[in-house]
Structure 1
């Protein structure tokens, strides 16, 4: 099952690198983060997007 979440995300793509992605779209499949995107990719455009509002999400 694939789910889409919109929000502000903090991630660490490499050791020692800290990144904040505002208004990003998280693509989650079967509980695993597939990617963080700027916009909803076309293949997922039919799925609803759950908006986390002004909160910050830290994928783990």
Structure 2
């Protein structure tokens, strides 16, 4: 597995909040899915309220 750094922003009650996180995943698509799931779960945001700006392999 590779480590990916994912950054973006999500919609919250005050506008938008930025984030940057790292995840272990098999490929870039799996990394995107993990981050969408994590942010949605932690902050109660639907996938449509999350924008992924950059996904890079570390």
- Tell me the TM-score range normalised by the shorter chain: 0.3 to 0.5
Q: With the length of structure 1 as denominator, give the TM-score of the two structures.
A: 0.33
Q: Which has the higher strand share?
A: 1
Q: TM-score scaled to structure 2, two decimals?
A: 0.33
Greater fraction helix: 2
